[in-house]
Amino acid sequence: MAKQIYLLYGAEDYLIQNHKKKIIEKTLVPEDREFNISQYDLEETPIEDVITDAETFPFLGDNKVVIAYNPVFLKAKPEPLAFEHDVDSLIRYIENPPEYSVLLLIAPYEKVDERKKVFKQLKKHAEVHSLQSVKEWDIDKWIQSIARDLSITIPESIHELFAQEVGTNLLALRNEMEKLALNVGEGGVVTRELAEDLLSHSAETSGLKMVDAVMEKNLGKAIMLFKDLLKANEEPISLVALLASQFRIISQVKTLKQKGYAQNQMRDYVKAHPFVIKMALKRERAFTTEELNHIIQELAETDLMMKQGLMEKELAFEMLLYKLIHIKQNGSFDQATSYV
């Protein structure tokens, strides 16, 4: 039996949009969708106004869909608004919804407060879906799924490129794969060359390239990558965190390798895509454990310096790159810090 009320919550926008589309298609015939879909932002509209709409008969056709985004009252600590939601009116509606309306609540939050009465009533009477971000180790199956949907083939041997360039954002992954599908056509096969040419480069990819520039002791290349990321509106503090993440994975992998762990065993300890672990295994050979510890320490100190406002952020990041490369050149933390 179809439900009259749905709650979709989670951080994965692609899955939320997919579910929303299916609910609309199941509820309304195409010719009714122009007039019988209402959408509200609950940060701007009280829930009682939404309920009034949901209780009003459809203008044309037999059914209507009322979509309400950002139900802040489902959060444990909602931000204050200029008005108060009459949540009791929603609870009464949940207990006795009209047959001609489908109410869809969309909460783009990682967590909702399951202790609240309104959530318990939704759990009891509505269809509730938790749509969380995809884990890196699940990305292969999503590449295959989206490729099937687009009627193209993406060889498993180049899945690593998608993991590296796009990451786990399914909406971004879908957009990139649609771009490739337009080029190869229905039934086409995506080649490595085409993927390398057309995939948009993410900050994570540039972060990996910066790690490689440190390995290569190439300060010019590292700063060029940094300038490109600034043009793409990336924040220096975020880039420090990105580099720290990359070097921590390399350090973890190096430690596990020294303890005799194989690559497939490392996944239990390093929560990352197999490709990320594979690349970290290649990179760890270029660093000693002492160098990695010193690099991670420098990253932590630069992060603190930026957050305390002790140095202009762009200059602090360039100085960081200079010091990381000299740690690698000299293999000594003291020598590296003596340059500044």
DSSP string, 101-132: EEEEEEE--S---TTSHHHHHHHHHSEEEE-P
Q: Are residues 261 and 291 in the same domain?
A: yes
User: What is the torsional sign of CA 131, 137, 143, 148?
Assistant: negative
Q: Are residues 118 and 145 in the same domain?
A: no
Interior/surface letters 267-293, b for 16+ CB within 10 angstroms, e for the rest:
beebebbbbbbebbbebbeebeeebbe
How far is residue 283's CA from residue 253's CA, in Å, rounded to a whole number?
Answer: 10
Mean pLDDT of 284-292: 91
Of 89, 111, 130, the residue that ends a domain is 130
pLDDT at 71 over 90: yes
What is the model's pLDDT at position 171?
82
Mean pLDDT of 67-95: 95
The boundaries of the domain holding residue 177 are 136-198
Of the listed ranges 59-73, 87-101, 201-215, 257-271, the least confidently predicted one is: 201-215
Q: Are residues 160 and 186 in the same domain?
A: yes
Q: Are residues 278 and 193 in the same domain?
A: no
Domain count, the chain: 3
What is the model's pLDDT at position 1?
39
pLDDT at 99 over 80: yes
> Domain with 48 in it: what CATH number?
3.40.50.300
Of 105, 130, 155, the residue that ends a domain is 130
Q: Are residues 242 and 159 in the same domain?
A: no
User: What is the torsional sign of CA 75, 78, 81, 86?
Assistant: positive
Over the stretch 257-273, which tens digit does the pLDDT of each residue have?
999 999 888 988 887 76
Crossing angle for the helix pair 274-284 and 203-215, to the nearest 10 degrees: 20
Over the stretch 1-12, which tens digit does the pLDDT of each residue have?
358 999 999 988
Q: Are residues 20 and 90 in the same domain?
A: yes
Of 83, 104, 130, the residue that ends a domain is 130
User: What is the torsional sign of CA 246, 136, 133, 205?
Assistant: positive
Of the listed ranges 75-89, 214-228, 252-266, 298-312, the least confidently predicted one is: 214-228
pLDDT-based confidence at 299, cuts 50/70/90?
very high
Q: Are residues 213 and 316 in the same domain?
A: yes
> Domain with 169 in it: what CATH number?
1.10.8.60
Q: Which residues contact 256 (CB under 8 A, 6 or more apart)?
A: 265, 266, 269, 270
> Domain with 233 in it: what CATH number?
1.20.272.10
Q: Is the pLDDT higher at 325 or at 132?
A: 325
Average pLDDT, the chain: 87
Residue 235 three-state SS: coil
Q: Are residues 98 and 149 in the same domain?
A: no
Q: Are residues 34 and 106 in the same domain?
A: yes
Report whether 233 contacts 299 (CB < 8 A): no
pLDDT-based confidence at 204, cuts 50/70/90?
low
pLDDT at 46 over 50: yes
Q: Are residues 322 and 213 in the same domain?
A: yes
How far is residue 298's CA from residue 323's CA, in Å, rounded to a whole number?
Answer: 8
Q: Are residues 207 and 333 in the same domain?
A: yes
According to the per-residue pLDDT averaged within each range, which of 111-120, 203-212, 271-280 is highest? 111-120
Q: Are residues 287 and 333 in the same domain?
A: yes
How far is residue 101's CA from residue 117's CA, in Å, rounded to a whole number?
Answer: 22
